[in-house]
Chains A and B, each alone.
Chain A
Amino acid sequence: MLKVIDQDGHLVLEDPMLDESLLKDMYWWMLFARVADEKSLSLQRQGRIGTFAPSKGQEAAQVGPSLAMMDKDWFFPAFRELAAYLIRGIPLKNVLLYFMGDPRGNIVPNGVNNLPIYVPVGTQVPQAVGAAYGMKMRGESSAVICYFGDGATSEGDFHEGLNFSGVLNVPAVFICQNNQWAISVPRTRQSLSKTLAQKANAYGIRGIMVDGNDVLSMYLATKEALERAREGKGPTLIEAFTYRLSMHTTADDPTRYRKDDELNEWLERDPLKRFKIYLKEKGIWTEKWQSELEFKAKKLTDEAINAAESMGPLRPRDLFDYMYKETPIALKDQLEYLTRSIEEKEIEEDAPKIEGGFP
């Protein structure tokens, strides 16, 4: 497993001597994502956003690769990559809107080569391979990054997609955030394979295992994989060995299935904590800088919340307008009917009370 700094922030390998500005960016994005994530969780608890999938603990596994990417590269997400979305140019406001049940959260700004969140597990993999084939055909030196979790490696689409990627030799980097849990099912119940990275062998592509809580390792591994992809040397599967410090989603209660001991062990491996020590030893991290970053992160988060909460209402036509490039007459009829039924509504119903959670 590639590891540059250990959980105490000490160098295990030679210092890669990355630019100070890049190191500072890494820390900033991890911290911003952590602040935004924790704030989102509290918004959910206050009923201001709906079901939310926290990414606490996985910041390094997202910040490293995202900073190794170029703008022209394409990003196919799963649904637990907050830090990556922010780096790639998805406004935090959009992420919040998404979890408020507002489709405007899925609008990807023009010029940002990201796809909206993929909820059905693993289904993004074949699509990422298709886009990568397109890049190869056009002879562009760009690449695709595709995220998914440990659970997705059990899906057919994962297998089919990685197999295609090898046969067609496309510029793709697959990042499996192995956070050890697929809701309540542990990694050991997902596959008998010793590592998830080794699955790459079956497809004849390169697979590597990386300490997903070490942002330096994740950055270096992804950068190398992207370079190989751009040079036509084929796809790479990166297993980012990490941990979901929070719940699967806010509808989930992890105390039902996992032990505190395990959680505590991983809290010691917190990606921010160890990187802070590394930066401190290099003389980059200071108390003052930390409080400046925290202030900025909180401010940006508050602004995003305000912006999301002050969006105008959705319209009935938002249901129909984007079904096809040109809306067919049958859908226009349905819109007219819905609009009339809203205007002329006489009987109000109570919302159903739901017990238990849903993922």
Chain B
Amino acid sequence: MTKMNMAEALNNALEMELIRDESTLVFGEDVGLNGGVFRITKDLQEKFGAERVFDTPLAESCIVGFAIGLALYGFRPIAEIQFMGFLWPAIDQLSSHASRLRNRSMGRYGVPMVVRFPYGGGVRALEHHAESFESILAHIPGLKIAIPSNPSDAKGLLSSSIRDPDPVVFMEPKRLYRTERSEVDEGEFTVPLGKANVVREGDDITLVGWGAMVPKISKAAELMSEKGISAEVIDLRTINPYDYRTVHGSVEKTGRAVIVQEAPRTCGFASEIIARINDKEIMHLKAPVMRVTGFDVPFPFYKMEEWAIPDLDRIIKASREALTW
């Protein structure tokens, strides 16, 4: 065990997978000599050569399409898109091809690839550098979507994603790249896709989040425990596959839930979670399921970004509302 921040853990995962499997390749804009704008691919080109770790021209659709071609040919491509806000041109490649080639070839062609990128706000970035639109990706059948919330999960989930036989979109909460240093196993390990993590057990209310919202709901649970309220905290880790069994099991116990997402409210993944709770767990509910989300506005200029991101105050108040319903 050694202490790493999330950026180091991701770099470590990439390095271990590049060693482990010759067919893995890392490419994207500025990932070579520069090591990526957030240094996630730092030193990898030096260690593995410019054939396996390389810069591409600046073209998101082609980066993802290129990855698909490599995956079809038997490689394990790991493509970096510089920011989620720049993923849009590549959505065609993801939704028209990566996600459906296995299906439309009836199993002849699989597309084992990873598209990774930083997402989310809170780092005082310029416009288009702070988006969270995971629910749009979750709406595309055939993709998997992993979103880690801490250094160890980041490493384990990225390793799983690289080894997965299907295309995985890997969303990195850039706000957490360097906020936490914690224990990470230096050896090889994986964290399975589709298994949520119960970060903290509790009986009174269930708090659900993913990525950058997990430290917030953990902190909220801590504050609540000081008032004698026992909150269960669930980190989804992946929203596709979505581990509804862990969430539903918790709701059966607590009867109350608050879902917290950074993304805009309408059609966010929180809506899906709530709909599924309604389908299966309505008889266990003691209060409507609450949600704390971003607003239905573009992610704001950074002087206003703290308003847009769910904060402790809103999370606690939504919990209070559920608890006193």
Q: Do A and B come from one complex?
A: yes
B69/A128 in contact, CB under 8 A: yes
The distance from the CB of B99 to the nearest CB of chain A, in whole angstroms, is 9
B65/A127 in contact, CB under 8 A: yes
B106/A163 in contact, CB under 8 A: no
A-B contact count (CB 8 A): 134
A115/B109 in contact, CB under 8 A: yes
Kindly state whether residue B269 has any CB partner on chain A within 8 Å. Answer: no
Chain B residues lying within 8 Å of A318, measured Cβ to Cβ, are 106
Chain A residues lying within 8 Å of B51, measured Cβ to Cβ, are 137
Q: How far is the CA of A134 from the CA of B76 in the complex (A)?
A: 10
Chain B residues lying within 8 Å of A163, measured Cβ to Cβ, are 57, 59, 62
Chain B residues lying within 8 Å of A324, measured Cβ to Cβ, are 102, 142, 144, 165-166
Task: Tell me the count of chain A residues lying within 8 A, CB to CB, of chain B.
Answer: 41
Task: Tell me the count of chain B residues lying within 8 A, CB to CB, of chain A.
Answer: 47
The distance from the CB of B217 to the nearest CB of chain A, in whole angstroms, is 24
Nearest to A105 among chain B residues (CB) is B106
The distance from the CB of A186 to the nearest CB of chain B, in whole angstroms, is 25
CB contacts under 8 Å to B, within A88-119, are 103-104, 106-108, 110, 115-116
B66/A130 in contact, CB under 8 A: yes
CB contacts under 8 Å to A, within B45-71, are 51-52, 56-57, 59, 61-71
Kindly state whether residue B104 has any CB partner on chain A within 8 Å. Answer: yes
Q: How far is the CA of A137 from the CA of B63 in the complex (A)?
A: 17
Q: How far is the CA of A137 from the CA of B26 in the complex (A)?
A: 13
Q: How far is the CA of A107 from the CA of B25 in the complex (A)?
A: 28
Contacts A132-B69, A323-B103: A108 and B62 contacting too (C-beta < 8 A)?
A: no
A157/B62 in contact, CB under 8 A: yes
Contact pattern, A 131-142, Cβ under 8 Å of B = 1, otherwise 0: 111110100000
Q: List the interface of chain B (C-beta within 8 A of A).
A: 25, 51-52, 56-57, 59, 61-75, 77, 89, 92-93, 96-97, 101-110, 141-142, 144, 165-166, 194, 241-242, 244-245
Q: List the interface of chain A (C-beta within 8 A of B).
A: 74, 103-104, 106-108, 110, 115-116, 120, 123, 125-135, 137, 156-157, 160-161, 163-164, 167-168, 318, 321-326, 328-330
17 contacts between A and B (CB under 8 A): A103-B106, A110-B108, A116-B105, A123-B65, A123-B96, A123-B97, A125-B65, A126-B93, A129-B69, A130-B69, A134-B74, A137-B51, A157-B92, A323-B142, A325-B110, A325-B165, A325-B166
Q: Which 8 A-B pairs have the closest CB atoms?
A: A130-B69, A126-B65, A160-B62, A134-B73, A127-B69, A130-B66, A325-B165, A160-B59
